[in-house]
Amino acid sequence: MTIPAPRLSPPTSPKNSSQNSSQNPSQGAPQGQEDQSKRTETVALLIVVWLVALVAEFVHQCLSVIASLLNCDQLLAQAREQAADTLAGTGQDLSDSLIQSAAYGSIILSALFSFAIIAVLAWMLWSFNKPTKRAGTARRLWFFFSLYFGIRIVFVFLLTPAGSKVPDWLFVLDGSVQIIVGVAAVMGLFFSSREETLDYTGELEQMREMEKELQKARREREEEERQKSREEKLGELRQGSKRGKDGKDSNDGQEDKDSSGFRWPPRSKGGK
């Protein structure tokens, strides 16, 4: 009895292994590269313009804080007038330190609120950059703020500084930054409404599923209405056939009665 010799497969060369890896590049691709491949040119441009708007808005808020600090004397004067009008009938007066604290506190609180909004927008933009479940929410939030930034451009040309100690170059620089924010936001409105963006965030698929559900509900409602009308017609036909049967039975009874009372030959008038 002879035992067959086992067959040995030839060793794979590094060239063949490199060819196999080149044929299946998606197997070893990281998640970040797959996310980048899902993006279209519209989504990439949208991220860029919203990033420009975010950075320019941060610069605008910084310039606004600087302008408020330079114009703090006017703010203190307004605070003193308001305090005097409020405490006119009481005979009391607020100290300058308290008024200054209130003025600087209002500037700080306003700046913190503005920077908090910028932080939220930055977080939403980061969520939109990664195709996560919050991408649709981020797009809608940025769409709302893009509308606000676009409308704010009008006020840049309408408002004129009066009675302020802020230098003109600071107003010009701040206005230019706001224009950049508005233009980038308007471009973001255009790109965020495209079909590619909605497909990227998954909202297009949700809209299609919602449309299918609405169509299904409409078909079910129409089917129920047809079934109801069919049942009503059948009921009418049954009632009509029942009335016809009752009428036929009454006619048959009348004929039987007439036939039972019929005599032949008929009686004469004299009773013979």
The stretch 34-53 carries a mean pLDDT of 82
Q: Is 5 helix (H, G, I), strand (E, B) or coil?
A: coil
pLDDT reported for residue 141: 94
Residue 121 has pLDDT above 70, yes or no: yes
Of the candidate ranges 175-184, 212-221, 235-244, 260-269, the one whose mean pLDDT is the lowest: 260-269
Count Cβ atoms below 10 Å from residue 78 Cβ, excluding itself.
11
Query: CA-CA distance, 176 to 56, in Å (whole number)?
Result: 10
The stretch 44-67 carries a mean pLDDT of 94
Greatest distance between any 2 Cα atoms in the chain: 142
Q: Tell me the percentage of the chain whose pLDDT exceeds 70.
A: 68
The stretch 44-58 carries a mean pLDDT of 95
Span 144-167, pLDDT tens digits: 999 999 999 988 888 776 557 788
The stretch 198-204 carries a mean pLDDT of 82
Of the candidate ranges 69-73, 105-109, 189-193, 239-243, the one whose mean pLDDT is the lowest: 239-243
pLDDT reported for residue 261: 52
111-120: long-range contacts at Cβ-Cβ below 8 A with a sequence spacing of 24 or more? 111/61, 111/64, 111/65, 114/61, 114/64, 115/58, 115/61, 118/54, 118/57, 118/58, 118/61
pLDDT reported for residue 104: 85
The stretch 37-62 carries a mean pLDDT of 90
Residue from 141, 153, 143 nearest 182 by CA:
153
Span 211-226, pLDDT tens digits: 777 777 877 788 888 7
For all residues of the chain together, what is the average pLDDT?
76
